[in-house]
């Protein structure tokens, strides 16, 4: 015993540790979620978003965002960031770029655009917009009402990898290089140029309009339904069917009236935004009642299931793309499909 302790101390005295002393702390049989599930009601947050328009000038804020903080590092999960961003009438949030990748889901929009990589993308409610890693982006609201969207980023993951770079555009605004919504028309209509599309690691489509995506979900009603997800579709890179980005996956799903979903769990941590309808989601041993514009978060490897009172549409994003790329994606369903 004495000699063992002495050996251990001598090892530790050389900035080393015997693996057998800590094996169960670093190699465990299944994930150990460190998160709590949580639910944010939009009716609680929207008044604060409106107040923030007066609380801070856009020039002083860089981005006027209320973070949905669920970890000590202000992630909504260990890998994901989430916030509501507001741009007031007539305001522009100046152009910048960073290695952290972003997705946006428009909550309240009008005559407003996000410019990404030299292209203006006009923002209507429900539109899904990507801002891939290291692409210039800025936001302009030409409407008379505030512009609000949900921001989803891989900030904690990127920061954990200590691969974060960021800079402000030297001119304040980027040069517009293509017609408005060009990527949607060029790559988002089920056709591609016969030449190879530039080899980004992300989808060449920067906006997935809600009217098109919603119509797709509606058409799915005529086919089979997934017992856990309802009618669900992935926002996809049209070149290869992959996720829109190497780190972030995003989905839109329709839960028909009185849908009661079966439970599943997987290694992704997931953020849900309620686009339409009302219902509830059981996450672990808690139940969260949600309605339009609410956000809730499902930790990794925790059982969850959705139910809808009326037709409900959920947008979600997760770190599934990163997990798949790293060979760490796994999912378990309660029922046996065989
Ligand atoms: Fe940004």
pLDDT of 2 above 60: no
pLDDT of 228 above 60: yes
The rounded Å distance from CA 140 to ligand 1 centre is: 13
The rounded Å distance from CA 137 to ligand 1 centre is: 7
pLDDT of 4 above 70: no
The rounded Å distance from CA 247 to ligand 1 centre is: 16
The rounded Å distance from CA 326 to ligand 1 centre is: 25
CA 4 – CA 9 distance, rounded (Å): 9
For the chain, what is the mean pLDDT? Answer: 95
The rounded Å distance from CA 308 to ligand 1 centre is: 34
The rounded Å distance from CA 167 to ligand 1 centre is: 10
Mean pLDDT of 251-266: 97
Cα 175 to Cα 119, 137, 172, 336: the distances in Å are 9, 11, 10, 54
Where does 140-195 have alpha helices with state H? 155-160, 182-187
pLDDT band at 332 (very low <50, low <70, confident <90, very high): very high
Given this model, what pLDDT does residue 109 score?
A: 85
pLDDT of 335 above 70: no
* Architecture, CATH, for domain 38-333: Sandwich (2.60)
The rounded Å distance from CA 243 to ligand 1 centre is: 20
The rounded Å distance from CA 186 to ligand 1 centre is: 25
Q: Which residues contact 147 (CB under 8 A, 6 or more apart)?
A: 86, 87, 88, 106, 108, 109, 110, 112, 123, 139, 141
Mean pLDDT of 226-237: 98
pLDDT of 336 above 70: no
Lowest mean pLDDT among 3-17, 101-115, 117-131: 3-17
Q: Which residues contact 164 (CB under 8 A, 6 or more apart)?
A: 98, 99, 100, 158
φ and ψ at 294, to 5 degrees?
-75, 160
pLDDT band at 230 (very low <50, low <70, confident <90, very high): very high
The rounded Å distance from CA 132 to ligand 1 centre is: 10
CA 167 – CA 155 distance, rounded (Å): 15
Q: Report the predicted TM-score, pTM, of the whole model to 2 decimal places.
A: 0.95
- Using one digit for the tens of pLDDT, what is the confidence trace for 154-207? 999 999 999 999 999 999 899 999 999 999 999 999 999 999 887 689 999 999
The rounded Å distance from CA 255 to ligand 1 centre is: 32
Mean pLDDT of 231-251: 97
pLDDT of 338 above 70: no
The rounded Å distance from CA 101 to ligand 1 centre is: 8
CA 124 – CA 307 distance, rounded (Å): 27
Domain boundaries, the chain: 38-333
- Using one digit for the tens of pLDDT, what is the confidence trace for 292-304? 999 999 999 999 9
The rounded Å distance from CA 147 to ligand 1 centre is: 16
The structure tokens 């001119």 sit at 171
């Amino acid at each position: 015993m004495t000699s063992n302790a002495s050996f251990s101390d001598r090892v530790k005295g050389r900035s080393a540790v015997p693996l057998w002393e800590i094996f169960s702390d670093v190699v465990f049989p299944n994930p150990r979620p460190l998160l709590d599930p949580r639910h944010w009601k939009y009716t609680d947050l929207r008044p604060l978003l409106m107040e923030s328009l007066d609380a801070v000038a856009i020039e002083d804020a860089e981005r006027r965002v209320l973070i949905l903080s669920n970890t000590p590092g202000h992630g909504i999960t260990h890998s994901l960031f989430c916030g509501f961003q507001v741009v007031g009438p007539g305001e522009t949030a100046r152009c910048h770029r960073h290695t952290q990748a972003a997705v946006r889901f428009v909550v309240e929009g009008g005559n407003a655009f996000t410019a990404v990589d030299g292209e203006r993308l006009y923002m209507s409610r429900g539109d899904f917009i990507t801002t891939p890693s290291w692409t210039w982006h800025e936001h302009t609201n030409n409407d008379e009402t505030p512009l609000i969207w949900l921001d989803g980023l891989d900030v904690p993951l990127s920061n954990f990898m200590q691969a974060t770079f960021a800079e402000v555009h030297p001119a304040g605004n980027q040069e517009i290089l293509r017609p408005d919504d060009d990527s949607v028309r060029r790559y988002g209509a089920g056709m591609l140029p016969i030449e190879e599309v530039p080899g980004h690691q992300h989808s060449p489509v920067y906006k997935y309009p809600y009217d098109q995506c919603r119509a797709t979900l509606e058409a799915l009603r005529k086919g089979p339904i997934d017992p856990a997800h309802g009618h669900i579709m992935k926002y996809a890179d049209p070149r290869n069917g992959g996720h829109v980005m190497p780190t972030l996956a995003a989905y839109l799903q329709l839960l028909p009236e009185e849908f009661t979903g079966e439970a599943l769990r997987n290694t992704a941590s997931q953020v849900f935004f309620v686009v339409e309808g009302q219902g509830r989601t059981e996450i672990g041993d808690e139940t969260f009642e949600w309605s339009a514009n609410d956000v809730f978060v499902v930790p990794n490897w925790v059982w969850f299931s959705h139910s809808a009172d009326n037709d409900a549409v959920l947008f979600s994003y997760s770190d599934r793309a990163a997990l798949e790329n790293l060979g760490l994606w796994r999912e378990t369903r309660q029922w046996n499909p065989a």
